[in-house]
């Protein structure tokens, strides 16, 4: 996590409600760091029941200005890092577990110039999920992808009014709404859903 203080706050909040949590720092572009983080989690809590792969970065630029360095970094974190995280987690996951990726509605509609690479990485994740779902189906592990639209985060704080105006529901999403979809996908009720990409964006991509 790029903001350790936020991670510490979340751990404290979970523990205040009687839960158990640990914050583990790892570079999503570093395969060794990903494996080490998974191992630390397993050593602390035992085999994995569910994993949410939420790391991602965004760099913008038109095709005539986008640097090779930014391209490589976007692919390393948003595509390669997602694959490696799933690979590491699945090897330590109980049969019947749940894997969820957080993609983006840009996978189906790239609405802005200069976002080609970001949209490409998110479309890659949506396709990746389908293939991995088939690979892990014999173990009854489901693999699904959530595709949020504009959501209230630190990244979008300065753009909320403009993004809300562009959304048919005239507001942007709340983190709790994305979390609710995650909660559903890890539940027993979602056990028959796998390989799916679920868009939650207030109609933005319609």
DSSP secondary structure string, 115-128? -HHHHHHHHHHHHH
Q: In this structure, are residues 182 and 200 in contact, taking their beta carbons and an 8 Å threshold?
A: no
Per-residue pLDDT of the chain (206 residues; tens, 9 = 90+): 467 888 899 999 999 999 999 999 999 989 999 999 999 999 999 999 999 999 889 999 999 999 999 999 999 999 999 999 999 999 999 999 999 999 999 999 887 899 999 999 999 999 999 999 999 999 999 999 999 999 998 778 888 899 899 999 999 999 999 999 999 999 999 999 999 999 999 999 88
The helix (run of H) or strand (run of E) holding residue 197 is: strand 197-200
Cα 196 from Cα 143, distance rounded (Å): 8
Query: What is the model's pLDDT at position 1?
Result: 46
Query: What is the model's pLDDT at position 171?
Result: 96
Query: What is the model's pLDDT at position 133?
Result: 98
Angle at 1 between CA 74 and CA 15, to 5 degrees: 150
Q: Which fold has domain 49-200?
A: Rossmann fold (3.40.50)
Helical segments of the chain, H only: 4-16, 31-45, 68-75, 81-90, 116-136, 160-166, 175-185
Query: What is the model's pLDDT at position 2?
Result: 66
Among residues 105, 108, 97, 100, the alpha carbon closest in space to that of 129 is found at 100
Helix %, strand %, coil % of the chain (to 5): 50, 15, 35
26: three-class secondary structure by DSSP: coil
Among residues 101, 3, 89, 117, the alpha carbon closest in space to that of 54 is found at 101
Cα 79 from Cα 106, distance rounded (Å): 14
- What is the dihedral sign for C-alpha 77, 81, 82, 85? negative
Among residues 170, 151, 164, the alpha carbon closest in space to that of 106 is found at 151
Cα 137 from Cα 151, distance rounded (Å): 31
Cα 182 from Cα 141, distance rounded (Å): 15
Query: What is the model's pLDDT at position 190?
Result: 98
Active site residues: 118
CB count within 10 Å of CB 206 equals: 11
């Amino acid at each position: 996590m790029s903001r350790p203080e936020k991670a510490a706050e979340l751990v404290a909040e979970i523990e205040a409600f009687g839960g158990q949590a640990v914050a583990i720092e790892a570079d999503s572009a570093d395969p060794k760091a990903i494996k080490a983080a998974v191992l630390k989690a397993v050593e602390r809590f035992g085999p994995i029941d569910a994993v949410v792969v939420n790391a991602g970065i965004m760099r913008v630029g038109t095709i005539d200005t986008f640097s090779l360095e930014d391209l490589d970094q976007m692919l390393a974190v948003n595509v390669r890092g997602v694959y490696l995280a799933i690979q590491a987690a699945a090897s330590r996951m109980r049969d019947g577990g749940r894997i969820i990726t957080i993609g983006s509605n840009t996978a189906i509609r790239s609405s802005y110039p200069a976002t080609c690479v970001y949209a490409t990485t998110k479309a890659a994740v949506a396709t990746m999920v389908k293939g991995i779902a088939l690979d892990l189906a014999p173990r009854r592990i489901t693999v699904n992808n959530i595709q949020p639209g504009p959501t209230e985060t630190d990244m979008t704080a300065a753009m909320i009014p403009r993004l809300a105006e562009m959304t048919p529901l005239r507001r942007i999403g709340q983190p709790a709404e994305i979390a609710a979809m995650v909660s559903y996908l890890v539940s027993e009720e979602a056990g028959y859903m796998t390989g799916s990409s679920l868009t939650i964006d207030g109609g933005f991509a319609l």
